[in-house]
Amino acid sequence: MIYHAPIKDIRFALNELADLAAICGLPGYGECSVELTDAVLEEGAKFAEGVLAPINKQGDQGAKWKDGEVTAAPGFKDAWRQYVESGWVGLRAPEEYGGQGMPALVAAAVEEMWCSSNLAFSLAPLLTLGAVEAIHHHASDELKSVYLPMMASGQWTGTMNLTEPQAGSDLAQVRTRATPAADGSYRVSGQKIFITWGEHDMAENIVHLVLARLPDAPAGVKGISLFIVPKFLVKADGSLGARNDVRCVSLEHKLGIHGSPTAVMSFGDNDGAVGYLVGEPNKGLNYMFTMMNHARLGVGIEGVAVSERAYQKAVEYARDRVQSRAVGSPDPAGVAIIRHPDVRRMLMTMRAQIEAQRALTFYAAAALDRAARHPVADEAARNQALLNFLIPIVKGWNTEQANEITSLAIQVHGGMGYIEETGVAQYYRDARITAIYEGTTGIQALDLIGRKTAMDQGAVARALLAEAQSTANKLQAAGFDSAAGNLSAAIADAERCVAFILETFGAQPQLAAAGSVPFLKLMGIVLGGWQLGRAALIAKEKLQDADADSDFLNAKIITARFFAEHLLPQVSGLAAAILNGADSALALDDSQF
């Protein structure tokens, strides 16, 4: 199961659609350039293809738990050693703590390759960087100096400890307690579940970020504080001391991502786990949300990445598998199934969505960089609002469609796809979690219609749709009639749905909520079609160059056309469900289900 990093596609999306050169020119990214990014991508591709991809299948055997200790899946510990020695952990970590401080856009491109080549492995650095983000923004200088250099280097890893057995996504129900100690630290006690890479043997130490309540904390989410709770305590000289009172009591038996240990963590079974308050009391949830855009963008990357891996496997199989004569051919000889129209339809359905998702994801990553670094305050604020709107779409749409795309990969394989030895079933199993963690699709959709659409009266949504309509007009002028017409029709449907949400969110919130996931998917398709429309226009212009890569550029145009003709028409059905059928989702009495 060879993985080939799609370098040319990634570069096109980075340079032509996300404007990498402009991002590298932002203040604080002085070392970044298009040329340096090319070199980073080439080296990242080598590592993904040569180190991570070969151990993906054996990683499916899973990590092992025994007496509170966890042994990483076969090959993972050595791969982590190489990953750390190559400096990949610190790619977007702060420079002042030993990281390279690269833009989120560049990191997103490299992270796609990690996630495609080995999704389970990739979660360890992604969680570590999320923890680095929270500590960097909110912890004291003393805590930063102790933890960030070791985490940025990869010598220590990081986790997020939010969920509890009784709480799930409702963090208002968090019961883990933190009691002040005489030395200024705290003693943390409680249990957390679903902790990705919560225990393992790859790194020297594990830094847990834990949500807990102080004794006098108010009820609900306003009473949650954030604590650093290390696996091993850190001495004054920076060396590791005694084992903290925190342990892994079990690992979950999961559908997929077996190589990523999902731990049940127990804090304070004896004297209390030593923890250190991050920032101010009772602001822990706000601090966690600092890393949420990064985390949800990361999960969106996982969605497109595992889809890319499944697509490559499906194409490989379709080229090799010979079955049945070509449709309409008098020659009885069998042909490779890639020549059968329905197989081609499935492959194009996968390919078109992957390219649209990659483009939209990189577009969002560029907005993240502009929001953080743009020197003009109004432009930074505009990009922050844009990012906030795009994140639930990138996270929700990419991951929902990953379930469909990886399923199509199995379908291309026929019965062989259902056999584990073929390998494609692993991608289907691995993809399933992505639409659940970091907030389910339903949670993303409620966020999209509420905080991201209703609260600003649809301003960002309408601005994006106006940009998309401008692209549709250019497509029409360039002779892409069907793409232009279908994109314009989809935009009109999206505008009607935005108006519907604004009308119903306050007066009939259940009605708006019933159509929220269809709205999220609708916006993903529309904005994905917009990005591919832009790609088609750029490709057509570049075809005029004497040294143009005509095969590659023509493929961009054909892919955009397929998306416009096969996927954009889905918008009308989603819009009808939102505008005319949302109430039917609420019609049955609870007892009738």
- Annotated catalytic sites, by residue? 438
Torsion angle (degrees, nearest 10) of CA 199, 204, 209, 210: 50
Q: Taking the CB of residue 161, how many other CB atoms lie within 10 A of it?
A: 28
Q: Taking the CB of residue 544, how many other CB atoms lie within 10 A of it?
A: 7
Distance, C-alpha 210 to centroid of its chain: 22
d(CA 271, CA 265): 16
Q: What is the largest CA-CA distance in the chain?
A: 87
Q: Is 155 left (phi over 0), alpha (psi -120 to 50) or beta?
A: alpha
d(CA 335, CA 322): 5
Tokens 């212009």 sit on residue: 541
Report CA Rg, the chain: 24
Is residue 32 within 8 Å of residue 41, measured between CB atoms? no
Three-class secondary structure assignment of 347-367: HHHHHHHHHHHHHHHHHHHHH
Across the chain, how many H-helices and E-strands are there? Answer: 20, 12
d(CA 426, CA 351): 19
Is residue 82 within 8 Å of residue 51, measured between CB atoms? yes
Could you tell me which residues come within 8 angstroms of residue 390 by beta carbon, excluding any fewer than 6 positions away?
Answer: 360, 363, 364, 367, 527
Tokens 């604590």 sit on residue: 227
Angle between helices 481-507 and 570-581 in degrees, nearest 10: 20
d(CA 337, CA 333): 12
Is residue 446 within 8 Å of residue 392, measured between CB atoms? no
Pairing verdict, β 156-161 and 205-212:
parallel
d(CA 258, CA 276): 31
d(CA 362, CA 377): 22
Q: Taking the CB of residue 131, how many other CB atoms lie within 10 A of it?
A: 24
**Nearest C-alpha neighbor of 316 from the set 355, 350, 280:** 350
d(CA 168, CA 127): 19
303 CB-side CA count, 13 A: 34
Q: Which helix (H) or strand (E) holds 112?
A: helix 104-117
